[in-house]
Structure formats: structure tokens, C-alpha cells
Amino acid sequence: SVRCVQEKGGGSRVVKRPQHLGSLQGHVKEAVTSAMSRVPRELFLPDALKSRAYDDTPLPIGLNQTISAPHMVAIMCDLLDLQPGMTVLEVGGGSGYHAAVMAEMVGPEGKVYSVERMPELVAAAKRNLEKAGIKNVTMLSLIHISEPTRPERISYAVFCLKKK
């Protein structure tokens, strides 16, 4: 299918929706491809890259960071085995795309907390999530880590909590 995207200046163009989601069928759960089909990836990209939104490749989002390739988002979501009502912590929120897909999977009764160390990306992700109509994601900034104490490595684990 296709999606019409508004351009700066009032024009619009057609963006092909993810044909690769079909190639993921049988490799990841239907809940993953269903959630991904509901999240318009182009909303999480800089204007100059919106036409490449459904290329199955990482794309730059600024500040030397990238949005993950759609197949990688699918694999990560599949491995997490997200269920409605779960609470998820994401480290490295970037543009907010992965958080949005996870939010679709956990549904309105679930919650995603996404931590990002770059305040500019936190602000952009919040705007992206709002444009996408995603309400169950909270973006958190790690601006309290100052340059002299900023670690060279960060160890993290992603976890999910199921509501009782």
C-alpha cells in the first residue's frame, strides 16, 4: 500500500509502505508486523530522508545517530515478546520510532519509557511521537550526565514488566 506524505511548502508525495513487512511474515510474530504497519516511519525521519522511510536500512537522524533498519526493529520486538499491558524500558531512544512500535504492541494499557542521552533527540522524539499520535511513551533525558563524568561505556539490559 502507499501513504501520502505532506512536504514542506504544502506539496505532497506518495511513499511506498513497507513491502519488506511481507518478507518478515513467518519470521516474526504477526503482532510485530501489525504494529509496524500502524507506525509511519517517515514521521521519525528528517524531511530530506522521508522518501527513503521504507528502505530496509539504518538512516541518519542527526547528531551521528541512526534510526534502526525496519527488519532490526522487527527482530528486537519479536525477541522481547511484547504483550498488551506490559511496561518497557528502552535505552537509546533516538527518533522515537522503536518506542512507537513497542507502544503499539503493548497497547494503551501498556507503557514505554525511553531514555536518550542527547537532549536534542529527546525533543525531536517527543515531537515525532506526538505527530504519530502515540500517547503511551515517555521520553526521558540523561542531561544530568556532565561531560567530565560521562562514561565511555554504558551497560544496559532491556526488560519488560507484565501488569498483574
Give the residue numbers marked as catalytic. Answer: 68
Residue located via cell numbers 500502524: 38
- Sorted by sequence, the CB contacts under 8 Å of residue 160 that are 6+ apart come out as 80, 81, 82, 86, 87, 88, 89
- Phi/psi for 17 (5° steps) reads -70, 165
- Give the Å distances, CA to CA, from 79 to 31, 67, 126, 160: 12, 19, 25, 11
φ, ψ (nearest 5 deg) of residue 36 = -65, -35
Contact at 8 Å (CB) between 114 and 136? Answer: no
